Amino acid sequence: MFNIIEINKTLNTFTNIKKVWISPAQNKMGLLDGKVAIITGASRGIGKEIAKEFINQGATVAFTYLSSDEKAKALEVELSANGGTIKGFKSNAADYDSAHELSDAVMKEFGKIDILVNNAGITRDNLLMRMSEEQWDEVINTNLKSVYNLTKAVLKPMLKARIGSIINMSSVVGVSGNAGQSNYSASKAGMIGFTKSIAQELGSRNIRCNAIAPGFIETEMTAALDEKVVQGWRDSIPLKRGGSPKDVANTTVFLASDMSAYVTGQTINVCGGMLM
């Protein structure tokens, strides 16, 4: 015979178990599960898409911004909607002290730093004969000095953990050069040299450093350009289309994940065949 008292006890036990809601982001295994990432310049375009894909792959994301607190908060809300963890930090990547304060704040908030994506960048295009010293310095400081600042800032926690992935967002013009962009090209070429050097310095500590060189990527900025000009650029690319921010973000996920555990010191061109 069934023991009614024991059955009731069992039913009561299951009834009293606390129900835990698991979000879609928590309910799947991601390539970046358990990793903490810093992404500079993630408020729009490529940086925003990288943050989005990192969240989708299970990472905790700390992103930097310079201007609007409201926009940063909106990005936090948007990207955490499915249960991901993301927090914005107001920080100037081009400032050495700010970079170190950011690293300390992220360590205090999340306890570790596994991934650094140096994505902050600007352009001040002009022919050299018309380029001011201010235009040169502004681009070099924002695009290249920021890479030194942030990489130096995350070294201590990565060395202590004996693991890390540093990803520097370069450009095809850092490989090929481009008229009217000597400052931008120099900053992006400098990134590639920095990447190779850091890969050699830190490889024995299991810290990898790679660069990505995007080609023509269609963003909200390119949407404002003349369509005939944009189509001409598309037609000159072997894949006959511009890249999307997600194309770059997917490559960044690969380099941030253990899928690329034996890849360091490399520059991956995400350009549809523009460079071969």
Q: Is 268 helix (H, G, I), strand (E, B) or coil?
A: strand
CB atoms inside a 10 Å sphere around CB 275? 13
Catalytic residue among 65, 96, 148, 184: 184
Tokens of 99: 């970079």
- Helix-helix angle 96-110:146-161, to 10 degrees: 30
76 DSSP 8-state letter = H
| DSSP β-ladder status, 60-65 and 36-39 | parallel
Tokens of 23: 């979000």
Tokens of 98: 């700010």
| DSSP β-ladder status, 164-169 and 267-270 | unpaired
Tokens of 240: 């006959």
- Report which of 195, 57, 27, 41 is spatially closest to residue 120, judged by C-alpha positions: 41
Q: Are 10 and 186 in contact (CB under 8 A)?
A: no
Integer angstrom CA distances of residue 172 from 44, 131, 241, 269: 20, 21, 16, 7
- Report which of 92, 115, 117 is spatially closest to residue 102, judged by C-alpha positions: 92
Cα–Cα distance, 93 to 82 (Å, whole number): 29
Cα–Cα distance, 22 to 44 (Å, whole number): 28
Our answer to whether residue 96 is catalytic in this structure is no
Q: Which active-site residues does the annotation give? A: 184
